[in-house]
A and B are shown apart, each in its own frame.
Chain A
C-alpha cells in the first residue's frame, strides 16, 4: 500500500512523520539534529530516500545533512557556500551598500533526474548547486550578477532566497523568489536570469511597480501546466499564465491577502491553497480562526476550509515553506504552524486533523508520496 512521509523542519530539530495511504495513523520519528534550526528538508524526486536537510544555528553556523535511507540515518556533507568571485554589495536597511555575507540555507530543491544534483537557496540571497550529492557547492552567480543585485534589500527576515521551482517539463527553466528582491527566471539552467515582476504592485517600495524590491513570499505551480505560477506576495495573491512575464492579482474575496504559504492541488491545476494571515504586523490568522482558503477556479473565488482547524483563540503563523501536498488519489494537504502543530487533510482540504500538536515552531513541511 502506498504511503506518505512528511518532512518537518522546526526551530529545534527535524521530524519525520509517516503513514500509510489512509493517512489516519501516524508514526513520529525525531527529533533529528535536536536543538538546531532545520530550515528545510526535501527529498529527491527521482530517489525519495535521498533527502537533504539544512541544519544551522546562530552559534555554529551551517551544516548540510544528507540521508540515503529516507531519513533514518544522516551524514554531514559539504557546507562551504562561497560566493563566486568578489561578492560585491547589496543595499542594507539604511540604504547603504552592504557586502554579501552567507548566513544560512533556507531551501533545498533536489533536481529532476539526478539525486546528486541539488539547488540551495541561501541568505544573503544567492543560488548554489551541487552535482555531487552536496559534497561541494558552487554559486550560479548569474542571478546576483544579472544587474539588479546591488539594489536588493533584505526584508525583516533577512535577504533570503527561499523559493526554487524547477519546471518539471524543462529542467533548464528555473524560478526563484527572494525577499525582498522579487521573482526571477532562468531558461538556461541557472546561468542567466531576468526579473519576472511585471504586474506586481507593492506599496512598501518607493516605486510600487519597480522591477525589483517586491517581497515575494512563495511561488507554486502544477506540474502539468508549468507556465502557470501562483504567488503569495507580502500582500496580494498573484497568478501568471506566461511563466512570469505578466502577473495579475487573484486575491478576490480572501479576508486578507497577506500570507506566506501557497500550494496547488496535485491533480487539479486550478485548485490553489493559501493560509491568510492578518497583516505584516500581525502574523496570525484573522479573528483567531485558522483557516485554509481554497480556490477551485485558479483564484479570485476562495472558500474557507475550517473543519478540524481551531476556530477561536488561534494566533499561530504558517511560514512560507510550511505547506505541501501529496500525490495520492485523494490529494493530501499538509501545513505546519509556529505553534508546533502539523495538520493534515486526506480529502483535499475538506477536513483536517493534527498529526502532531506540540513540536517546536514549524519552519517547513515537505511531503513525499511513497510507492
Chain B
C-alpha cells in the first residue's frame, strides 16, 4: 500500500485526508504515484505537475525517507520503503512567500 502525504492546501482543495493510501503495481515511481493520485482526485491535475509538460511545479517538492527527490527523474524508482508502504511519499509546498 503506497502512502502519500499532501500539504494542507491540496487537502482542502481535494477533500483528501492528510494521508492517501492506495495499491500500486511496481515499479513505484513519482510519475506512477502522481498518476494514481490524480486519477482519484482530478482536481489535483495541474496543481502538482504543470499541464502539458508534466514538469513538477517549481514550488512543489517531493520528499521520502528523509531525502529530497524533487530533482530525480519522474520515472526513477522510489526507495523500497516507499514501495512497501513503510515510508510515505511527501508532496511539499516549498517555503516561500508570506
User: Which A residues lie at the B interface, using CB under 8 A?
Assistant: 34-36, 57-63, 76, 79-80, 82
Contact = CB atoms under 8 A, between A and B. Distances in A.
A116 to B, nearest CB: 20
Contact of B46 (A34, A36, A79): A79
Contacts of B64: none
Interface string B14-36: 00000000000000000000000
Contact of A58 (B12, B43, B97): B97
A59 B59 contact: yes
B50 A35 contact: no
Contacts of A58: 59, 96-97
Contact of B13 (A63, A80, A82): A63
Interface majority SS (helix, strand, loop, mixed), chain A:
loop
Contacts of B93: 59-60
A58 B13 CA distance: 15
Given A62-B46, A76-B43, A82 B59 contact: no
Chain B interface bracket (under 10, 10 to 19, 20 to 34, 35 or more):
20 to 34
A63 B45 CA distance: 10
B13 A60 contact: yes
Given A35-B12, A60-B60, A80-B46, 20 more contacts: A57-B9, A58-B96, A59-B57, A59-B60, A59-B93, A59-B96, A60-B9, A60-B10, A60-B13, A60-B47, A60-B57, A61-B46, A61-B47, A61-B50, A63-B13, A63-B43, A63-B47, A76-B43, A79-B46, A80-B45
Contacts of A60: 9-10, 13, 47-48, 57, 60, 93
Interface in B76-93: 93
Interface of B: 7-10, 12-13, 43, 45-48, 50-52, 57, 59-60, 93-94, 96-97
Contacts of B51: 80, 82
A195 to B, nearest CB: 30
Contacts of A63: 13, 43, 47
B43 A59 contact: no
Nearest to B43: A76
Contacts of B13: 60, 63, 76
Contacts of A36: 9
Contacts of B12: 34-35
Contacts of B94: 59
Contacts of A79: 46
Contacts of B97: 58
A86 to B, nearest CB: 12
A34 B8 CA distance: 11
Which of A58, A60, A82 gathers most chain B CB within 10 Å? A60
Contacts of A35: 8-9, 12
A35 B48 CA distance: 17
A262 to B, nearest CB: 29
Leading 8 A-B pairs by shortest Cβ distance: A60-B47, A59-B93, A59-B59, A76-B43, A80-B51, A61-B46, A58-B59, A61-B47
A82 B51 CA distance: 8
Contact of A59 (B9, B45, B52): B9
Nearest to A36: B9
Contacts of A57: 9
Nearest to B42: A76
Contacts of B46: 61-62, 79-80
